[in-house]
Structure formats: structure tokens, C-alpha cells
Structure 1
Amino acid sequence: MLSESYKALDQLCLPHGLYIASPAKEYRYVWIRDCVYMSLPYVDKPSNRYEKTYYRLLDLFREYEWKIDILCRHRPRSEWEYIHARYTHDNVREIHDQSWGHIQHDMVGAFLYGIGLGLKRGRPMLRDEKDVEMIQKLVNYLANVEYWHDTDNGMWEEWREVHSSSVGACVAGLKAVAGVVHVPQELIERGLTTVLRLFPRESNDKFVDLAQLSLIYPYRLFTGLLGETIVSNVEKRLLRERGVIRYEGDSYYSTLEQQYGRACSRDFYLGSEAEWTFGLPWLALCHQELGHWDKAEHYIKRTEKVMTAPGILPELYYGGTAKANPNTPLGWSCAMYILAKEAGLGATPSAQRKPGLRIKA
């Protein structure tokens, strides 16, 4: 199953080093966030696969440096002014003929985190001083948009709120590159204050959200009892038979969406939400972080049961059904399975950790 999951990632990797989210027509795009998650299985592999992804992302930011420079001088006034989240797969250009929720601070935080993680593992992430300069400008960008209270579209690219998952990603990213460029400590502390103020909520509008698992893995911001609380809330409110719903009342690919659209209230969609497969290996990864290896193994096995073929995971299943949506395989899902499976295979009793009450500042 591992080898087939790696083959799926190989097929989604483009010559320039970035990934399309899925071979399905509507997902043949490059998302910055997806590229970060899909690159994680390669961070410890003996190849240049990991840094190659980030070199192309750095080139992307270089190509739009003129835009980042403007954003470092004043806050964006319109949505299109923000750094875009999604690009064409061939020449990696912004897409202007479709409306999209591009205000996604977490993707910038994710990119910075990925750079810092690679450097921590001894990988040659920065090619020259220009790359360092671009990292500094992205830090300045987060400071200028005031990420700690600027509403964004979040991981699911929907309505604007202050999301703990977005703010937490920025905190993790800023911490990760603090030894490479200048990151004022106050910039990190403001984000931490927001995350703790919202805890255990994802936002003022949502009590719990699948995206909050990112605060435990990969960002390792919440550990111990704080992480336990997030995982428990996800399991109690969002866990389903074939995956994890993103949040209660999610209409995207709901069994009621095609009949009624997405204009109805969220309460209308309760019980019909789509079940996202990467939620299962994500829970496994979080339980590994919290030292619950038996629970992690349980979720790895559940992940393998919902594969459409060995190593192949769809984006989601329609709520309460065995019908997968067309976005198969989803690279993000395959990457999460690889990470959880390999961590489980390498686990030993001495590697197990006991939970405590901590937030990593």
C-alpha cells in the first residue's frame, strides 16, 4: 500500500517539482498548501525531491515579488491583492477568470514551516541570498496583513473569519524561520495570544474543525492536554465511518448539495456532510504525537479499509455512503497515509510519549 501511495504522488508531481491536487479535471491545479503537505513524505528521503518543491515555490514568489512588495507597504484592499492560493499546473500562474477565496494565511505559514523543517533536517532549502530575501518578505507580509486578527478564508477556502488553524500555521511558520531571517518575537506572541483566546474553538462561528488537527500535526503547536482536547472534540463531533467531516453542516459534496445547492443554512446539512479520507491518517498522526500508538494503529487500519485500490484514497465519500467523489486519488490523502504508516512502522515502545499540559511557545 505504501508503494502504491508513493506511485500516486509520483503521478501527481509535475516536472517543475510542484503537485496537482488530483488528476480529476477540477483539481488539476497547483495549491501551495497541498504542495507543502504532499512534500512531507520526502523530507527524510535521500533525494532532492523535497527541496525541489520549495525551489519552485520560491521561484513563484520571486515571479510575484512586485505584488509582495506592494503588500509589504500597505494592507490589501481587495481579495485579489492577497497572495493567491491556487495556480495553473503548467506555467504556475495566477488564475483570474474564476472567483476564489485566496485569502489563506495558513498557506503562507505552511510554506515557511516547510522551509524551516527542511533546514532543521539539514536540507539545502535556500539557494542564494535572494531566497533568504523572499523569506523575509513573506514574514513582513504576515506582519503587514496583521495575520493574528485579519480574517481569512481558511484551509477550506470559504467565508472569512479568524481561524485558529490559520493563525497557528503562521505561528509555526514564523517560529520555523526565526533563525534564518528577522522575526520579531512580538509577531509570534500575537498569534499565540489569538490561538489561546479561541481555544478550543476553530473560530467564533465553528466550535470544532478538521483543520485544527494541523495544530498538533504537522505544526506541533498543541501538545499534551491541549492537543488531547482538540483530538477528542474532532472524534466526538466530526468522525464518521469512512472519514472525518470538515465541520458540522458542511455543504461541500453533501448528499443534499446537488438538490438544494449551498445557499441553505448550515443546520440544513447536518448529517449529510462529506467524509474526508485524510482525516483518518491525520488522526493517526495526531495520536502518534500524543503518544497513543494503539489508537494511531487503529486509524491507519481504518484508512486502509477506505482505499478504493491499494494505496489509493479519494478526497471524500458522500456522507453515510460508500460512494467516493471524482477527485481520486487525492494527493494530500495519500501523503497523510504515507506519513502515518511509516511513523507507525518505525515506532518502538521507547518512542512513546506521555501527554502533559503544554503549548509550544
Structure 2
Amino acid sequence: MKLLHEVLDTMRLSNGAYVASPSKDYSYVWIRDVCYTVLPYLPRPCDRYERAYHALLDLLRRYEWKIDIHTRQKPEYLYEYIHARYTPDLVEIDQPWGHAQNDAIGLFLWGVAQGVYHGKPVLRDKKDREIIEKLVRYLGCVRYWDHADNGMWEENMEIHASSVGACVSGLKAVRLLADVPEEWIHQGERTLQRLLPFESATKEVDLALLSLVYPHQVVSRGMARQILERVSRRLERDRGIIRYEGDRYYHAGTEAQWCFGFPWMGLCWSWLGEQAKVREYSEKTRSILPPDGRLPELYIGGTDQPNGNTPLAWAVAMAMLLLDQAGCEAVSKAG
């Protein structure tokens, strides 16, 4: 996986964060993308994981005044939310955007806790711990369990199962690091029971639902299998997985096929212990991985042409995770 690691390093900034892609449109720092991008480094003896979280904590400390306001007062306008993306030097971008993305905050909390549990020096001081406490109160203030947000794809405001599940996961994970009212977790779990297996009122099946299986693991084995089978049956294509039926992003007759869909499916099946499925999606991932390792965001709908967001850090990281896991399995069998 050295090649994929080298590709990721081309998108790593001196402050430890990562741009989503070196492309013109994506050369920004997204909280969610950074958290997914550094997952391969969670168990590894290097500092890339904690350095990335230190960068994200630094930007949250810079905008602590905003978090303070919205631990008491629910945001009304999108710019009032914790922003989803930043410049490479971690400054908010003064441009209208779908910043209501509770899943990114839930994922961040989960990632901090995972780093701590793996012995990573993610939290540096008392102020970092205070930021975690305030993010917990932020999610409570917005009432994430019945709150319409922009979701993982930064689009229309709805209650998204993937956003609710990420918050449930994050709040559970930081219970040993912060004061988390149990009722806030239970409220989210009740919303998931009501929504699943649908993603939202308008989307029955959505690629974002995979996050409930991996990395968040907030659904039962039966529900996980149902989600994976529905995604495979309705969204899987030759070069990736479409986000949802009728998606208009890079649509050219049919929906765009997202490359991280294949490794993501493999990682979900791995959690379920289905090694035959892990091998299947490892091969599918290899089939779309370019020789230079620069895995694109997607293939434009109905074509073999990748879009300009190449490589996409999140996609490269997912491929790295799955292929590393598949390689370890092969070594184990050979032994």
C-alpha cells in the first residue's frame, strides 16, 4: 500500500490536515473528508492520525466563539453552523454552502475517541477536551435526532439516517471523555429505528447508509446486511456505486459512479465477517484503481471518464484500508 500512501501524502498539508483533492474545486479542507482520509493511519505507528486531528481541533478552537453560541441557541442560517469546509490554512470560506452537516461532527467525535483508545495523543490539553464537551452540547442544542441537515452529500435539508447514526456513534464513543446525556443517544437510536432502512423521506437507498455499518457500527447485523444488499442491488454499477437513484451530480444520461463505493462495501462486509464478499469487493476495487494509485472521485455517468476531482483523498484512503486488509488475509492464509 506504499503507492496509495504516497498519493495521500501529495494532499497532506504542512499543518497535518488534507485537502479533499488537488483539483480546482476540491482543494479545501473538509472536516468529514479529513476524518475518513486518516483512517488507514489509526493502527499505524506514525503521527499522521493525531496531526490531522490536531489541525481540526485548531480550527474548532479558532471558531470556539461560534460553537459557544450554538450550545445555547440553535442555528437558523447555514452560515451559523460549524462550517463543513475551510481554506488550507483552516479559515472559513465566505461563500454560501450547505454547512448543516451533523454527520461530520459525529464522525469527528468518533475519530477523536478512536485515537484515544488506540493510544494516539489526539487530545493535547484541557482546551482540546473543552472543545469535545462543547461539540457534544452543540449536537444537543441542534437536536440532531430530529434535525433536518444537508447530510453527507451537502444537498437538500432532511433528516438523514446517516447523519443521525454518525451522531449516535460519536456521542457513544466520547462518553468516557465528556459528559453525554444518555437521553440524547436514545433519541438518536429511536430516530434510526423509525427511518431505517431508508436514508430519508426522499431517498430509500443511499450510499451514505454504508457509514452506519463502517465505520460507525450502529446497526444490528441484520440491518447491516439489509442495507448492503439494497445498496448492491439498486446502486451498484460497473465502475463504482451511485450515491442514490436520480442523482444529478456529473449526470450524463445516468448517475455518476463513485469509486469509494467498492472499497466501502468491502469494509462493511469485513465487519460482518463475510470474507468472500471482502475478496469480491477487493477485486472490484483493483479493477478501477489506476496504475498510479490516483483513484478519482467518480466516473461520469454512463462513461469511462473520471471527473476532475482526481485523486480524491477519501477514495484513496478507503482503497488503502480494504486492500491492506485483503492483503493481510492473503498472508494469513499462505502462512
Does the alignment reach a TM-score above 0.5?
yes
Q: Distance in 2 between matches of 1:53 and 1:248?
A: 34
Runs of at least 4 residues of structure 1 off by over 4 A? 348-351
**What's 1:42 paired with?**
41
**What's 2:328 paired with?**
346
- In 2 relative to 1, CA 349–25 (structure 1 residues): closer, same or farther, beyond 3 Å? closer
Are 1:132 and 2:148 counterparts? no
2:198 to 182, 197, 201: 201
Segment of structure 1 superposing worse, 336-345 or 18-27: 336-345
Are 1:85 and 2:89 counterparts? no
CA contact (8 A) 1:276 1:316 kept: yes
1:237 to 212, 231, 234: 234
Are 1:61 and 2:43 counterparts? no
**What's 2:282 paired with?**
300
- Corresponding letter in the other structure for 1:80: Y
**What's 2:19 paired with?**
20
Q: Distance in 1 between matches of 2:257 and 2:81?
A: 30
Segment of structure 1 superposing worse, 340-349 or 72-81: 340-349
**What's 2:106 paired with?**
109
Q: Distance in 1 between matches of 2:10 and 2:265?
A: 26
CA deviation vs aligned residue, 1:14-51 (integer Å, no higher than 9, x gap): 00000001111111000000000001011111111111
**What's 2:257 paired with?**
275
How far does residue 348 in structure 1 lie from its aligned partner after superposition?
7.8
How far does residue 125 in structure 1 lie from its aligned partner after superposition?
1.4
CA contact (8 A) 1:213 1:231 kept: yes
User: 1:241-252 maps to which residues of 2 (within 5 A)?
Assistant: 241-252=238-249
CA contact (8 A) 2:210 2:228 kept: yes
Q: What is the Cα-based RMSD across aligned positions, in Å?
A: 1.4
- Corresponding letter in the other structure for 2:24: K
CA contact (8 A) 1:4 1:312 kept: no
Are 1:171 and 2:171 counterparts? no
- In 2 relative to 1, CA 345–308 (structure 1 residues): closer, same or farther, beyond 3 Å? closer
Secondary structure, aligned partner of 1:334: helix
- Corresponding letter in the other structure for 2:79: W
Are 1:337 and 2:319 counterparts? yes
- Corresponding letter in the other structure for 1:344: A
CA deviation vs aligned residue, 1:322-352 (integer Å, no higher than 9, x gap): 111111111100000111111222238999x
- In 2 relative to 1, CA 139–23 (structure 1 residues): closer, same or farther, beyond 3 Å? same
Q: Distance in 1 between matches of 2:332 and 2:157?
A: 43
1:122 to 100, 119, 123: 119
CA contact (8 A) 2:79 2:96 kept: no
**What's 2:179 paired with?**
182
Secondary structure, aligned partner of 2:86: strand
User: 1:252-271 maps to which residues of 2 (within 5 A)?
Assistant: 252-256=249-253
TM-score (norm 2): 0.97
2:294 to 284, 292, 312: 312
CA contact (8 A) 1:304 1:311 kept: no
Q: Distance in 2 between matches of 1:171 and 1:181?
A: 14
Secondary structure, aligned partner of 1:191: helix
CA contact (8 A) 1:3 1:311 kept: no
Q: Distance in 2 between matches of 1:278 and 1:329?
A: 11
How far does residue 319 in structure 1 lie from its aligned partner after superposition?
1.9
CA deviation vs aligned residue, 1:220-268 (integer Å, no higher than 9, x gap): 1124111000000100110000000000000000015xxxxxxxxxxxx
How far does residue 320 in structure 1 lie from its aligned partner after superposition?
2.5
Aligned length: 333
Structure 2: where are the runs of 5+ without partners? none
How far does residue 311 in structure 1 lie from its aligned partner after superposition?
2.1
Secondary structure, aligned partner of 1:255: coil
Q: Distance in 1 between matches of 2:141 and 2:108?
A: 17
User: 1:146-157 maps to which residues of 2 (within 5 A)?
Assistant: 146-157=143-154
TM-score (norm 1): 0.90
Q: Distance in 2 between matches of 1:348 and 1:182?
A: 43
